[in-house]
Structure 1
Amino acid sequence: MPTIAVISQKGGSGKTTIALHLAASATQAKQPACVIDTDPQATAAAWGDWRGDFYPLVVTSPPARLAKTIERAHKQDEVDVVVIDTPPHAESAMREAIKAADLVLIPSRPRAFDLHALEAVAEMIEFAGKPAYVVLNAVPAGATRQIEEAKETARKFGLKTCPVSFGERADFHRSSAKGEVAAEIDATGKAAAEAKKLWTWVRKQIS
């Protein structure tokens, strides 16, 4: 069963938004997903509570129990994909998530302070030898130069950049507050399209 870790040293990078939309897009594509929330703030778990008994499932786990939680998720007959949401500034949690993952996604806003935080993550990725990609998030409209500079910064740290990015979209914020995802409030919107494209790309990496 494919396991995707979403990690970042920087708070506010969009880890939970990307993890939930990725899991929901997998579920909508007939591959039901489980999100494992290892963040003590339990933002993904709160979203799951608001959502109710609908996929993707959201469960919580302390980092030390992550392997066992993934093992239990594997035993769920209907779960095809596991997505791990991690806290910022928590190297032990990130290391456990990287160790368990088949693919690592590193959300980052295309801003200097956010991109600087990639350096520490890059060192962990290099040590683990896992495939990993930076996912640019909250990208302003028309920020072509910013995107290229962000990609160059990632390259300097030895990281690849995912070809799919998330723009600064109101639908991402509006949907999260309702226990939904962007496609459920506007299936034809740009946010919904970006989430679907990200899952399509991820599926190719893990197939």
Structure 2
Amino acid sequence: MRVLALTTQKGGSGKSTLAASLAVAAMQDGETVVALDTDQQASLLGWGRRREANGLDVQRVEPSAFAGTLKQLRGAGQVSLVIVDTPGRFGPDVALVLREASLCLLPVKPSILDVEAARPTVEQLRLLGRQFAFVLNQCNATTQARTLDAATALVSTGALAPSMVATRSDFLDSMTTGLGVTELAPKGKAAVEVRLLWQWIKAQLAGAKA
């Protein structure tokens, strides 16, 4: 069982939205997925409650109970992937979650403020000895130079997913309807980006510790 944790110290990175659509994309790819929301804002849990489609379990879990929840899921032997949404800050409670992750994914908006805000998270992940990677999220297709600058800065810090994710209305609509973008508009650009990102993540998880 692999554990993918989405984490960042800066709010507004689209972490919960990306977690929801990645969970659906992974499920459609044959994974048995459980999505765990450890954030007090419970955005991912709210999306799960609006969801009418079957096949994806979304639960709220306190960080202090996270390790125990994973132990139960492993013991059941039916779950292949856990996707975790974490709070938009770093502290001892978040560390309890991240130290259990096979891979930590840091969504970062293409701005210097967001790139700089990611550095403390990177430092903590290195102290925890966790594998991590960035994904440029909420990119604007009309400001490619800014996106390239952000990508250059991130590559110097750690691994960067080659699939960038743009700001698209499908992401907003999917959170409203309890769907992933690959369900809402399977042939849309947002769906293509999420599928590409998931395939890259899948490859990273294949070489990560269970």
TM-score tier, shorter chain, comes to over 0.9
1:94-109 alignment to 2 at 5 Å?
94-109=94-109
Asked if 1:66 corresponds to 2:66, the answer is yes
The superposition leaves residues 79-128 of structure 1 with CA deviations (integer Å, 9 ceiling, x where unpaired) of 21001100112422331222001111000111122111111011012112
The superposition leaves residues 109-162 of structure 1 with CA deviations (integer Å, 9 ceiling, x where unpaired) of 111221111110110121122221111111001433222211232244x22211
The superposition leaves residues 21-49 of structure 1 with CA deviations (integer Å, 9 ceiling, x where unpaired) of 11111100111211110001111111111
Question: Could you tell me which residue of structure 2 aligns to residue 177 of structure 1?
Answer: 176
CA distance in 2, matches of 1:39, 1:70: 16
Question: Could you tell me which residue of structure 2 aligns to residue 11 of structure 1?
Answer: 11
> In structure 2, do the counterparts of structure 1 residues 93 and 18 end up closer, same or farther at CA, with 3 Å as the change threshold?
farther
Question: Could you tell me which residue of structure 1 aligns to residue 133 of structure 2?
Answer: 133
Question: Could you tell me which residue of structure 2 aligns to residue 93 of structure 1?
Answer: 93
Please give the secondary structure, in 2, of the residue aligned with 1:36.
strand
- Report if aligned partners of 2:111, 2:147 keep a CA contact under 8 Å in 1: no
Question: Could you tell me which residue of structure 2 aligns to residue 45 of structure 1?
Answer: 45
CA distance in 2, matches of 1:194, 1:48: 22
CA distance in 1, matches of 2:189, 2:94: 30
- Report if aligned partners of 1:106, 1:134 keep a CA contact under 8 Å in 2: yes
Q: Which runs of 4+ in 1 moved over 6 A?
A: none
- Report if aligned partners of 2:106, 2:135 keep a CA contact under 8 Å in 1: yes
> In structure 2, do the counterparts of structure 1 residues 59 and 76 end up closer, same or farther at CA, with 3 Å as the change threshold?
farther
TM-superposed deviation, 1:53: 6.3
Question: Could you tell me which residue of structure 1 aligns to residue 148 of structure 2?
Answer: 148
CA distance in 2, matches of 1:186, 1:155: 31
How many residues align? The count is 206
- Report if aligned partners of 2:6, 2:104 keep a CA contact under 8 Å in 1: yes
- Report if aligned partners of 1:186, 1:192 keep a CA contact under 8 Å in 2: yes
CA distance in 1, matches of 2:163, 2:85: 19
- Report if aligned partners of 2:24, 2:182 keep a CA contact under 8 Å in 1: no
CA distance in 1, matches of 2:141, 2:199: 22
Q: Which stretch shifts more, 34-43 or 67-76?
A: 67-76
Residue identity matched to 1:154: L
Please give the secondary structure, in 1, of the residue aligned with 2:73.
helix
- Report if aligned partners of 1:118, 1:154 keep a CA contact under 8 Å in 2: no
Indicate the percent of aligned positions where both proteins have the same amino acid: 30
> In structure 2, do the counterparts of structure 1 residues 76 and 176 end up closer, same or farther at CA, with 3 Å as the change threshold?
farther
